[in-house]
Amino acid sequence: MIKKSISRQGLRRAIKGSLFVYALGAMLAFASQILLARLMGVTEYGVYYYALSWFLIIAMFSQFGLDQTLLRFMPVYIQDGDWSRAKGIFNASNRLVFGNGMLMGVLMLLVVLALGDRLEASQRNAFLLAAFCLPLRGLIYVRQATLRSFMFTIRSLLPDAVIVPVVLMILAVSLSLVNWVPTAPVIMAATLIALIISFLVGAYWQSRLVPKQLVTAKQSYEVSAWLRVAFMMLIINGTYMLLNNVDLLILGLYRSPDEVGIYGVSARIASIVTFILIATYPVFAPLITKQHAAGGSEELQQEITHVMRPIALIAILLAVFLMVAGGAVLGLFGEEFDRGHTALCILLAGQLVNALCGPVALLLAYGGHENVVVKVLIIAVIMDIGLNFLAIQNFGMEGAATATAVSTVFWNLMLYVLTRRHLGIDSSGWFTARAVQPRKGIVKS
């Protein structure tokens, strides 16, 4: 069992640090998107955002769930002093993710070239440049998982959360000062440069912080066990990514780039409601893994209760504020963007339920119940795709927001109930922690 001094004091310090980085990153990301939207205009911004959404989905599949698999196994190996397996999963994850990224990048290039004139020049060039980002994106996620496994949470987050948006803003402003129009392909090229810098900084920190045992140990492999978990993590991450992006992808099939850009901004603003909850994930993931291996959940429930109550209150306040002032917030991106206020309010309702339910998918996935998460998320994705196809054709971005909100509420409530049933944990933190007893307990994998 993890000692209380570590779980209480160390965990809370880590959560505060993670929250600070996420808050700083959220502000910088928000500022960078406002800047880009104003410099690019609603149409070019919509093209860039659409290409970026496809890139993020393909990048997630190229990782094959290996970054999350590393985070599932590495903390236990470290805790047990099993450096040979720790080195094995570290090396295997980096090699496989890089290889997958290269393969997916080549496939993306071929598909875009095959589409030819069916894509506008701006769209085609933005997608081509996005393909070159794929290998880097995967390696960055593996580096993050490695540092998080050693509880270097802040350094794992800083390059992606801070360096990328800062570099992107500097490049965008520099281009505008020399009268170079920041089109979608130009900003995608700037994104590639920002990712390269982020990767180099993260790689440097990893080389300095990772213990020597990880380098000097003789590696050993449990490939079948790792790939089995990786496949489940791939399905979980894939369905989760689709749930967050399928509305925008389908909207892009039927509506103009302007509407895609406006909806994309509305969705990003709505996600602010859950950013504090997400900030706890890098800290909770290794803790859940260790608790799962140790065979207990009471201490974890206490920490979730302590953390989730203020998160819920902040989420409610943020949702109400954004519903009331959403038009003004959207106006920061440009005059055309206030058309997304209705969609924003609908999305906020779904994100509020998401925040109030707590880290349900994380608890089940890292607590040994990946199959449960997979089944619920697959149902939710099918529901989300069907609802979006029906609603977008008739109601545009308001229909996309409604379909997404309904799907979000569905999978969160389902996983909340299943978390109580399988783990005996109340993920919302609002009900008594000790009275909730697991049916099976957390068993060792």
Residue 432 lies in a domain: no
d(CA 346, CA 356): 16
Residue 437 lies in a domain: no
**Tokens 């302590």 map to which residue?**
306
Element of type H or E holding 46: helix 42-63
Residue 443 lies in a domain: no
Whether the model clears a pTM of 0.75, i.e. scores above it, the answer is no
129-176 pLDDT, tens digit each: 999 888 888 888 888 888 888 878 788 888 888 889 999 999 988 988
What's the total number of domains in the chain? 1
Alpha-carbon torsion (323, 328, 334, 336), positive or negative: positive
Residue 433 lies in a domain: no
Q: Quick check: 53 and 243 in contact, CB under 8 A? A: no
DSSP class of 119:
S
Residue 89 lies in a domain: yes
Residue 25 lies in a domain: yes
Residue 336 lies in a domain: yes
Q: How confident is the model at residue 444 (pLDDT cuts 50, 70, 90)?
A: very low
Q: How deeply is 3 buried, as exposed, middle or buried, from its count of CB atoms within 10 A (0-12, 13-18, 19+)?
A: exposed
Checking if the pLDDT of 254 tops 80, the result is yes
Cα-based distances in Å from 158 to 162, 241, 284:
5, 22, 18
For 192-202, what is the mean pLDDT?
91
Could you give the angle at the alpha carbon of 34 between the alpha carbons of 14 and 264, nearest 5°?
85
Residue 78 lies in a domain: yes
Domain that holds residue 25: 4-423
For 206-222, what is the mean pLDDT?
83
